[in-house]
Each structure stands twice: as structure tokens, then as C-alpha cells.
Amino acid sequence: MILVLCETDPATGEVDEVSLETLALARALSTEGGGVAVRAVVVGPVADTDAVAATLGGHGATEVRHATGDGVASFGGAAWATALDAVRQETGSVAVLAGGTPRGNEVVAHLAARLAVPMAANVVSFEGLSPLTVRRQVAGGVALEEMRLSNRPALLTVAGHAWQAEETGAGPATWVESTVDVPAEELVARVVRTAERAADESGSLTSAPVVVGAGRGAGGPDGFGPVTELAELLGGAVGVTRVVTSLGWRPHHEQVGQTGSRISPDLYVACGISGAIQHWAGCASSRAILAVNTDPEAPMMTRATYAVVGDMHEVVPAIVEEIRKRG
């Protein structure tokens, strides 16, 4: 049996996209393994259980275990790992998967530590089951590492956009409530307070379907006018490099990279960005990247899905003008 930890958006109650992508990989593993069952586990409060059961069932989960209890009402890595492990033991799961999100990686890391088995983070594909051999992103996504997981349970998290979420057409999954008792010593680190983000902070950046980014090539604060206009036209957000925020051209909440936000939009338009590894680590999960740069040998240009050799101050306004012509 394969168990998938699925996350829901606290604001909307909807299942996160990366969880649905993880279910797609779980189904592929199930098929390779002869059709073993795929079950989901959701931890903590759920706003609409019927909707979540329908979504997860429609993406291949036959059953959803809803782990509840005072100890898991808010997020805590160790506490959620306790809930995940309890369901794992109840279901006899031989593999446990989660999305490669901050929470997914933290919870599975806790589970790996307590079971003393290895964990593969940010997996993008698998090659076989005997032993389970996976490829995963390392070094900020610029390299792939092959890893064999001989221990059981096999523990792994799935990189964003590594798999395409696909509906199976199946009906709602069976919903099973499961109360979890969490020892007090595992509640040392947990969320005790949440606050609404201001509308202009990085929440929109990490969830935007399109991000238009700019780096030193913008030339200064005044160089972001067309970038901002393009982002607005595409219904997206503005993202920048560390040097831009260090120079004070744009606010820090717009920074993409190792010391900023990690994004995974459908399209990342990278303008005047060289593509240093620190920035690449934050945007490597983008589904497609369009790079605009005068240097055709810049790392961002060589890694991008599409590349335009040109001055962003000419290319971006031209794109804006063309979009406006088309209404």
C-alpha cells in the first residue's frame, strides 16, 4: 500500500496542487507494483471534507485518513509525523510520499529520523521497484542524483511540477476519521499563531501562475515599469533577484531564490537575469521559463525553455504592446 500525505490550503480549503501531483506519481508506482492501493492522509482541520474526498478520490486515492486531535490541530513537524506514522502502521503502507513543500519535507524528515531509514527529497522520477530507484533534484535543481531506497517504508517527497496532476474520473474516496494522541514532548515546536499576509506580500508571488522577474539588467528602480505592466497584463506577480533587493530597487518580499521565495509558476519570464545558482534554486520548479537577456551564454539563457537574445528594455515593452493590441 502507498500512503500520500496531502496538504490543503488554509485559506481556501482546497487540496494543494503539489499533493495532486504527488498522487500522480503514487499511481504510477502502484501500476508498476501491480496495482497496490493508494491512500491519502490529511492532517488537521479540514473545512469541507466532502470536497477534499471528491478531489483526492478523483486523483486516484481510494481512501482518505483524516488524522485529528489537539496535538495536530496546528502544524508541527514532529506532531504531524506522529500522525503520519500512526496511519502508516494502521494501513501497513510500504511507501510514504508527500509533496516537496516545506511542510512535506519537514514531516517526512521527522518520520525518516524516527524510523532510521533514508529519505529521498524532491524526487522527479523513478526507474524501478527492486530496489525502488529514484532520481531527485539536488544543488538547487541544477543536478539530478540517483538514489536507491531498499528500506521499508520507502520515504520520499516529490518536487513541484515533476509530475502532471491528472484526474482519473473516479468518485469520492472513502473518508475515515482517525484520532491521534501526540506526546507532549513532540509539541515543543508548533505553530501557535498565524497572521494574514498583506495583499502586496510574497503570498501572491509563490502562488501566481505567471511571474515576471527582473535582475540587475533592469538598470534601476525606474526600469521596472514595463516589467510590472507585463506582470499585471498576464495576471501574475513581479519577482526579482537578490542584488535588486540589496540595491534597494524593489522590496524583499519580491525576491526569488535561496534567500527569498521559491516559485513554481506555469511561466516564469526572467528579464535581465544572469541565472546564478542561488536564484535558480528558487525558480527551477517553474513549468516553463522564458529568458530575455543580451548575453546568450548567461546560465539563465542556456537553462530556459525559451530564450530571446535582446535588451529587456526593448523586448518587454514590445511584448506589452503586442498583448495590448490583441486586447
The helix (H) or strand (E) run that includes residue 269 is strand 267-271
Cell of 84: 503520519
275 assigned ligand-binding residue = yes
Residue 256 counted as an annotated binding residue: yes
Query: Is 164 marked as a binding-site residue?
Result: no
Q: Is 258 annotated as a binding residue?
A: yes
Neighbours of 130 (CB within 10 A): 8
Q: Is 293 annotated as a binding-site member?
A: yes
- Find all residues with CB under 8 Å of 60, minimum gap 6, and list them: 23, 24, 26, 27, 30, 38, 168, 170
CA distance 134 to 126: 4
Annotated ligand binding at 241? The verdict is yes
Q: Does the annotation flag 13 for ligand binding?
A: no
Please indicate if the annotation marks 122 as binding a ligand.
no
**216 labeled part of a ligand binding site:** yes
User: Under 8 Å CB-to-CB from 253, ≥6 apart: which residues?
Assistant: 200, 201, 202, 205, 261
Q: Is 274 annotated as a binding residue?
A: yes
- Bridge partners of residue 292, in order along the sequence: 271, 308
Query: Binding residue per annotation — 218?
Result: no
Is 65 within any annotated ligand binding site?
A: no
Which residues does the annotation place in the binding site for FAD? 216, 241-242, 255-259, 272-279, 293
Which residues does the annotation place in the binding site? 216, 241-242, 255-259, 272-279, 293
